[in-house]
């Protein structure tokens, strides 16, 4: 039986690379819940509510995906959704050590949860939310990297600062 999978992250902001991973996950699982993390070790550009809103707009074309915010450990959110599968995006070799560390920590916290790694299309291999924000801060075009609503939200937020 295909199951529900959880794709946790900060999604600050959601990028076309994230959306590609969500679309790939939705081909494998009955449902993918995009779990937007409240508490992170990073200072977020967008608030939790803004990140949830932008993710919802960005994946509205995907019938078997939904967005929820969460606070605390991702493994606890996965268990609360009666799931045992966590999706993580894997871009380049530079992600390997970090993602492996997180997967092992999650397995230690809850041995019943499996982490599935998905890779995006080649054109998104080096795309990250941090890169998008840096390009935008320096006045570059982010059109190829994020949905229009995200591009507009970044522009509006930067104009207010």
Instruction: Identify the active-site residue in 58, 83, 128, 129.
Output: 129
Residue 53 annotated among the catalytic residues of the structure: no
Instruction: Identify the active-site residue in 18, 51, 88, 133.
Output: 18
Residue 60 annotated among the catalytic residues of the structure: no
Q: Could you tell me the sign of the dihedral formed by the alpha carbons of 128, 129, 134, 136, in that order?
A: positive
| Rounded distance between C-alpha atoms, residue 160 and residue 41, angstroms | 25
Residue 141 annotated among the catalytic residues of the structure: no
Instruction: Identify the active-site residue in 42, 60, 104, 121.
Output: 42
**Which residues contact residue 131 at a Cβ distance below 8 angstroms, ignoring those fewer than 6 apart?**
145
Residue 42 annotated among the catalytic residues of the structure: yes
Distances from the Cα of 13 to the Cα of 2, 97, 108, angstroms: 29, 23, 29
H-helix segments, the chain: 16-28, 48-58, 74-80, 93-109, 129-137, 148-160
> What 3-state DSSP class applies to 43?
coil
| Rounded distance between C-alpha atoms, residue 7 and residue 37, angstroms | 10
* CA nearest to 78, candidates 50, 106, 41, 59: 106
Instruction: Identify the active-site residue in 24, 53, 91, 157.
Output: 91
Active site residues: 18, 42, 91, 129
């Amino acid at each position: 039986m295909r199951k529900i999978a959880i794709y946790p992250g900060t999604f600050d902001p959601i990028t076309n690379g994230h959306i590609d991973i969500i679309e790939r996950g939705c081909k494998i699982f009955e449902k993918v819940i995009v779990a937007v993390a409240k508490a992170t070790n990073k200072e977020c550009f967008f608030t939790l509510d803004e990140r949830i809103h932008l993710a919802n707009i960005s994946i509205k074309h995907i019938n078997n995906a939904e967005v929820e915010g969460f606070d605390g450990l991702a493994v606890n959110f996965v268990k609360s959704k009666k799931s045992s599968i966590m999706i993580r995006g894997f871009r380049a070799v530079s992600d390997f050590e970090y993602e492996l560390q997180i997967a092992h920590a999650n397995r230690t916290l809850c041995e019943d949860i499996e982490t599935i790694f998905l890779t995006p299309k080649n054109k998104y291999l080096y795309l990250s939310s941090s890169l998008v924000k840096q390009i935008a801060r320096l006045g570059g075009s982010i059109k190829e990297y994020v949905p229009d609503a995200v591009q507009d939200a970044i522009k509006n937020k930067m104009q207010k600062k």
